[in-house]
Each structure stands twice: as structure tokens, then as C-alpha cells.
Amino acid sequence: MANLKAIRKRIQGVAGTQQLTRAMKLVAAAKLRRAQESALAQRPYAEALGKIIGHLGNRLEEGAHPLLAKRPMKKALLLLYSSDRGLCGAFNLNICRAGEQFIQGQADDGVEVAVAAIGKKGFEFMQGREYPVVHNYQDLFADITFDSISRIGNELAAEYVKGDYDGLFVLYNQFKSPAVQRVTLQQVLPVSLEDTDADDNLVEHLFEPSKEELLDAVFPMYVNLQLFQALLESVASEMGARMTAMDNATNNAADLIKRLTLIYNKARQETITRELMDIVGGAEALS
Amino acid sequence: MKLQVVTPKEREVDLDVDSVTLPGSLGEMTILPGHTALVSNLDVGVLAYEVNGTTTLVAISCGFVEVLDDQVTVLSETCEEKNEIDVERAQRAYGRAQERMAKAVSDDRIDVARAEYARRRALARLLVTGKHN
């Protein structure tokens, strides 16, 4: 009997967990949709900014702006996008391992890498392995605004101009589908003009107040936009990963419940049979 | 003439207009159809566009504008229409910013540029709602 009771309790426990994972899956799905929408919504802005840079930027010299300045790479900064929360499969582990590989790869080339972490998980991983973490950005995810990422971008750009490091890399999970994320490394600083669509046969633009002042405003914005895009991709990936992980957990719980119910029923049947045998045996002994 | 206002969050405005008035960093400017190609910085302030004699105001923060072939593209960090603005909050922000600016004369811990930015931003919001006196 004690065995029966224990199995029943176990089934109830698993059912409770299943309810939880199912709820988390639904929440992640809703958040994923929102993240996908904002990733789509910033595209017109990115395109418009790319066009302006194209118009400003063709035939630009490297010395035209401090953020374009290429220096021999001695120190690099890695901006690592992870999440604040767990229960999202291998999402954080994948990105942290890729970060570690990058740091070691650069170290082999004689480049020192410092880490700036977005999200608690990446921070804990990097600090736990005693890599130098110079920035730790948390609480970004509750309310994702361009403003909060600009603050980070401006800080990092200022450090680049000051010469604290010679290159800024971002490492984030690119969203492919809810089940697939691809770890992506991208160099943000110095700004490279190769991927903007420069067009040579253009109408000559009027620049107000002046080309130089416009560049001063456009490039930081371009950097911030790239950081923002990476953040949106990372958040969508996180939600996708969590949704998939929680879906698997819910299915596993269903399997487990099925198996336990089978065991429970068998055990119950056995008890009944044994009791019947006892009664029959007792009746025979009496007659 | 087509007007587009885009922010990193969404495409806020996308329509045909007769004229656009923008808070350029060198001063206010009005763009009419046939304007020459132009790229300019924008200050925080009020953007006004006119369609069939009706003028609509929106509050924008720093950004850029590009004019090319009767297509005006405004890039701004934010873009708020009248019904999106919390008047009381803007009024409080305006009062606070003015206080800080007044205090800044004697207290150099205050970031004047930031206070001024906050003041202009609040002012733009109030102008859009028509609640500024």
C-alpha cells in the first residue's frame, strides 16, 4: 500500500511540474512573438540609416571620424549577449563557450580580450572563469528600449575613442527559428563601411550643419543600432530556446506520467489479486 | 511629397504631405515639394506636417532627415503623437528641468546640457499637446 501511495504522490508532483513548464512555454511563445515584431519594426530605420551613411560615407577616408580609425589590434572588447534567466536549454552555455573560444583564439594571436556582459548568465560564467569582465549590464530585458542600449553604446564608443581597446566585437545568438539559434560574431568597431550601400552616381546632397558634424551624429547612432539589432536577435533566440526547452519538458512530463500511471495500475492490480487470493485461501481453509 | 518618420521601434508616419516643418540643428526649416537633396541633423523638438490645410504635430527627439526626390525620411529615436503624451508628466519634467537649469548657475555638479535636453524634450511634448503656456 505504501508503494501505491508513493507512486500516486509522484504522479501528482510530475503533473504539477508539467503545468509549470506548459505555462512557461506559453509565456515564452508570447514574448517571442513580441521580440520578432520589434526585430521587424526596426528594419525601416536601419535601412534609412544605412542609406544616409551610404550617401555620406562614399569616398570617406579612414581618418574622417574617430570611430573609423583602424589601429593595430592589441586589446579587444567582447560584448557578450546572454540572458538573465535560465531554463532555456543550451542558449547561455553555447554563447558562453563561443565567447571563451574567441578569447582563447585571440590570446593565441597576442590580443588581450576584456569582456562586457549583457545578461546575468554570461557575467557569472565569465567571472567564474576569471576572465576580465569590465562591464556588467543587467536588467535590460524587462523593458527593451533603444535608449538603454544607446547608453551602453555611447559608453563603449567613448572608450574606443579614448583608446581603451582597439576593436569591439559582439557575440550573440542569431534567431533562425524557434528551435534554431546561430551563434554569431560581428565586429562593430572600428566601423566598417563595406556593408553600407554606397552609391557613386548620386545627386550632390546639401549637408547641414556640415558633413563633419553629421558624421559625429551618424556613426554613434549606427553603432548603437547594431548593438540594438543584436539585442533583439538575442532576445528572440532566448525566447525561442526557452519555448523549445519547455515544450520538450512538457512532453517528457507527459511520458513520465503515462509510465507512472501504468506502474500504478499494475501495482493496484497486484494488491487486489493478492487480497483475493488471501480471501479464497482463507475460505478454503475454513471449509 | 512623401513623408516617412522611422524610429528603431517602428515606422510611425508614412503618408503624402504638402509640407513638413522640422527642428533642424541650425534652426527650424520647412521642406516643400521640389526641395533639393539634403541631409541634416535634427534637434529634439516639434515636427509639423500639413495635409490639405490641416497641420499635425508630433514630438521627436534627436535624429536626422534626408530629403531626396520629394521623399522626406526622418530618423528619430522617438516620435510621439498627441494622444501618446502624458501631459502631467511632461509638465512635471519641464518644471524639474527648469529648476535644475536655474540651480546650475551655482551648482556645477548639475549637467547643464542634460537638463537643457530634458527641458526641450518636455517642451516639445507640451507644444504638441497644446498645453504649453
Q: Is B64 within 8 Å of A217 when comparing Cβ atoms?
A: yes
Q: Inform me whether the C-beta atom of residue B37 falls under 8 Å from chain A C-beta atoms.
A: yes
CATH number of the domain where residue B122 is located: 1.20.5
Determine whether A88 is an active site residue: yes
Q: CA-to-CA distance for A192 and A268, rounded, in angstroms?
A: 71
Please name the member of A44, A218, A221 whose beta carbon is closest to the beta carbon of B11: A44
Do residues B98 and B73 share a domain?
no
Residues A262, A151, single domain; the answer is no
- The three-state (H, E, C) secondary structure of chain A, written as one string: CHHHHHHHHHHHHHHHHHHHHHHHHHHHHHHHHHHHHHHHHCHHHHHHHHHHHHHHHCCCCHHHCHHHCCCCCCEEEEEEECCCCCCCCCHHHHHHHHHHHHHHHHHHCCCEEEEEEECHHHHHHHHHCCCCEEEEECCCCCCCCHHHHHHHHHHHHHHHHHCCCCCEEEEEEEEEECCEEEEEEEEEECCCCCCCCCCCCCCCCEEECCHHHHHHHHHHHHHHHHHHHHHHHHHHHHHHHHHHHHHHHHHHHHHHHHHHHHHHHHHHHHHHHHHHHHHHHHHHHHC
B11 in contact with A, Cβ within 8 Å: yes
Same domain flag for B63 and B99: no
Does A139 lie in the same domain as A48?
yes
**Same domain, residue pair A43 and A172:** yes
**CATH number of the structural domain spanning residue B38:** 2.60.15.10
Instruction: Tell whether A166 and A263 lie within a shared domain.
Output: no
User: Nearest CA to CA, how far is B73 from chain A (Å)?
Assistant: 7
Do residue B8 and residue A208 have CB atoms under 8 angstroms apart? no
**Least confident residue range of A74-78, A256-260, B33-37:** B33-37
Instruction: Report the alpha-carbon distance of residue B49 to residue B53 in Å, rounded.
Output: 10
> In the structure, what pLDDT confidence band is assigned to residue A75 with cuts at 50, 70 and 90?
very high
State whether B76 and B110 are in the same domain. no
Residues 6+ apart with CB under 8 A from A152: A116, A118, A135, A137, A227
**Residues A91, A241: contact at Cβ < 8 Å?**
yes
Mutate to test the interface with B, among A45, A233, A235 (most CBs of B within 10 A): A45
Instruction: Indicate yes or no: CB of A203 within 8 angstroms of CB of B10.
Output: no
Q: How far is A54 from chain B (nearest CA, A)?
A: 12
- Does residue A9 belong to the interface with chain B, where contact is any CB pair within 8 Å? no
Q: What is the CATH number of the domain that holds A115?
A: 3.40.1380.10
Say yes or no: B30 and B78 in one domain. Answer: yes
Residues B10 and B63 in one domain: yes
**CATH code, domain with A272:** 1.10.287.80
Residues of A in contact with B9 (CB under 8 A): 38, 41-42, 146
Domain shared by B12 and B67, yes or no: yes
Mean pLDDT of A120-143: 90
| Whether residue A281 is found in the same domain as residue A224 | no
pLDDT tens digits for B57-87? Answer: 899 988 889 898 889 999 998 888 888 888 8
Domain that includes residue A276, residue range: 2-24+245-286
The reply to whether A171 and A205 lie within a common domain is yes
Domain that holds residue B98: 86-129
Cα(A42)–Cα(B10) distance, integer angstroms: 6
Per the structure block, which three cell numbers stand in for A167?
Answer: 576593436
**Distance in angstroms (rounded) separating the CA atoms of residues A273 and A148:** 68
Position B113 confidence tier, pLDDT thresholds 50, 70, 90: confident
Please write the tens of the pLDDT for every residue from A157-205.
999 999 999 999 999 999 988 888 999 999 988 887 765 555 555 567 7
Residues of B in contact with A41 (CB under 8 A): 8-11
Q: Are residues A179 and A273 in the same domain?
A: no
Beta strand B45-51 with B38-42: parallel, antiparallel or unpaired?
unpaired
Question: Do A125 and A250 sit in the same domain of this protein?
Answer: no
**Domain termination residue (choose one: B44, B63, B82):** B82
How large is the average pLDDT for residues A252-257? 95
Between A142 and A96, whose confidence is greater? A96
Whether residue B17 sits in one domain with residue B69 = yes
Q: What are the grid coordinates assigned to B72, written together?
A: 522626406
Q: How far is B80 from chain A (nearest CA, A)?
A: 15
Look-up: residue for cell 507527459?
A: A254
Most confident stretch, A45-49, A258-262, B83-87, B93-97:
A258-262
Residues B101 and B121 occupy one common structural domain: yes
Question: Within 13 Å of residue A12, how many CA atoms lie on the same side as its CB?
Answer: 6
| Cis omega (within 30 of 0) for bond into A209 | yes
Task: Write the DSSP string, chain B.
Answer: -EEEEE-SS-EEEEEE-SEEEEEETTEEEEE-TTPPPEEEEE-SEEEEEEETTEEEEEEE-SEEEEEETTEEEEEES-EE-GGG--HHHHHHHHHHHHHHHHHHTT-TTS-HHHHHHHHHHHHHHHHHHT---
User: Chains A and B: how many Cβ contacts under 8 Å?
Assistant: 79
The answer, yes or no, to whether residue A237 has pLDDT greater than 60, is: yes
Residues 96-125 of B with CB under 8 A from A: none
Task: Please indicate, yes or no, whether residues A147 and A19 belong to a single structural domain of this protein.
Answer: no
A55 contacts in chain B (CB < 8 Å)? 39, 66
* A197 chain-B contacts, CB cut-off 8 A: none
pTM: 0.82
Q: Are residues A9 and A42 in the same domain?
A: no
Q: Is A208 on the interface with B (CB under 8 A)?
A: yes
Residues A237 and A249 in one domain: no
Residues A19 and A36 in one domain: no
Number of domains in chain A: 2
Is the ipTM here above 0.85?
no
The domain tally of chain B equals: 2
- Average pLDDT score, chain A: 88
Among chain B residues, the shortest Cα distance to A38 is held by: B9
Active-site hit among A68, A88, A152, A188 = A88
